[in-house]
Amino acid sequence: MQDFNKINQEILTFVKDRDWEKFHSPKNLSMALTVEASELLEIFQWQKENDFLDSKINDVIIKDTKDEVADIFYYLLRICQKMDINLEEAFWDKMKKNKIKYPVDDFKGKSTKY
Ligand SMILES: [Mg+2]
């Protein structure tokens, strides 16, 4: 996946240029990822359920959401770099497990936990 490699390389260069490698332990990166996920949640904080119907999502909300999902993606990839995890492979392996854990016949239309 060439774009993925390009993104990974961009992150490595970004970190190296700023000499941030020394700060990027899996623990610190995991904490940063959680902060970014909270920033995503903050966009929707205090909104009523109906405030986020498709017709009410405006350009500012979309712009802010794009920024936060990009931050989350950055830290996710950075954790994978540090721990030598192939994210694409990890995704497909986990989807296999999820399909076993949540069979369609038992979970279709249900939000209950396994
Ligand atoms: Mg952010």
Which letter does DSSP use for residue 109 in this model?
T
Q: Which CATH number characterizes residue 19's domain?
A: 1.10.287.1080
Query: What pLDDT does 54 receive?
Result: 66
Range of the domain at 15: 2-90
Cα 60 to Cα 36, 41, 46, 56, 104: the distances in Å are: 18, 15, 16, 11, 36
- Structure token pair of residue 54: 């498709």
In a domain, 32, yes or no: yes
What residues contact residue 50 under an 8 Å CB cut-off, 6+ apart?
56
pLDDT in tens, the chain (114 residues): 568 889 999 999 999 999 999 999 999 999 999 999 999 999 988 888 777 666 667 888 899 999 999 999 999 999 999 999 999 999 999 999 999 999 999 999 998 876
Find the 36 Cα to ligand 1 centroid distance in Å.
Answer: 5
Q: Name the DSSP letter for residue 53.
A: S
Instruction: Establish if 41 belongs to a structural domain.
Output: yes
Q: Give the per-residue pLDDT at 10.
A: 97
Tokens of residue 99, six digits:
């399909």
Distance 64 CA to ligand 1 centre (A): 9
Per the structure, how many domains does the chain have? 1
113 occurs within a structural domain: no
> Is residue 84, in this structure, part of any structural domain at all?
yes
Q: Is residue 35 part of a domain?
A: yes
107 assigned to some structural domain: no
